[in-house]
Amino acid sequence: MGVIAVIGGTGVYDPSMFENIEAKTMTTPYGDIAYTEGSYKGKKVIFLARHGAGHSIPPHLINYRANIWGLKKLGVTVIVSTTAVGSLNPDYKPGHFVLIDQFLDFTKAREGTFFDGNGKKVVHLGVGNPYSPEVRQAIEDAANELNIDIHNGGTYVCTEGPRFETPAEIKMYRQFGADTVGMTNVPEVVLAGEAEIAYATISMVTNFAAGISPTELTHQEVLDIMQELSDKFKALILRTIEKIDPNEDLPAHHRLAEYGGFKAALGADGDLL
């Protein structure tokens, strides 16, 4: 049976929206992860707080490989992640939701693949559709039913962090076609692709980016805005889960078909899944 995972980003830490919740841990080849197992409307759900308990892990130190490996081992077939983003697009206003469909990677020092040698195949992941169109459609349908402002499509630029971006950087990213900016979606989306998990991100716009906003942003402002809109965010996640069939066969589940699938491409390490 397939499992749905929710990766909670900034401001989305509380798994109590689900039923029958139980805190657990798992050891992976990349380190330990903590997660919550629960259910909603008869579907098994795994909740993982990307930044750890109490937002204790900065974006550049998140153990993305451990997180995605652990979810794969738990039988997750669909991931709905959340992010807080700044907007570079005047149509994407604070309080709106965005379902990004492309990314620009400006990270600098992150482990971005499971295929790092050591007996594994040389794998080149195709990323024409890094964010599952089918899962994005389910989220959009849920948002429309809840009368939530949402944009299905947009380019996310991922920066290394933990500092915010300069106005000059934002100007450059706008020229490159970016609509939103954040610090966590890469390599998470890439690793999910390698693991053949259908992945989509719900981004909440908390502010206009540096040089667009008339004031300089603080992290507390992001937290405050996320708190204000947390009920709307939770409602959207729950309605989305209702619409997702974790047992549906999706194109994302065959991303590494030419290599025999994720487990086969890992070689001996595939036995650990």
pLDDT tens by residue, 31-59? 999 999 999 999 999 999 998 877 789 99
Q: Tokens 């100007």 identify what position?
A: 171
pLDDT tens by residue, 224-262? 776 767 788 889 999 999 999 999 999 999 999 999 999
The whole-number pLDDT of residue 13 equals: 61
Domains of the chain: 3-272 (3.40.50.1580)
User: pTM score > 0.75 for this model?
Assistant: yes
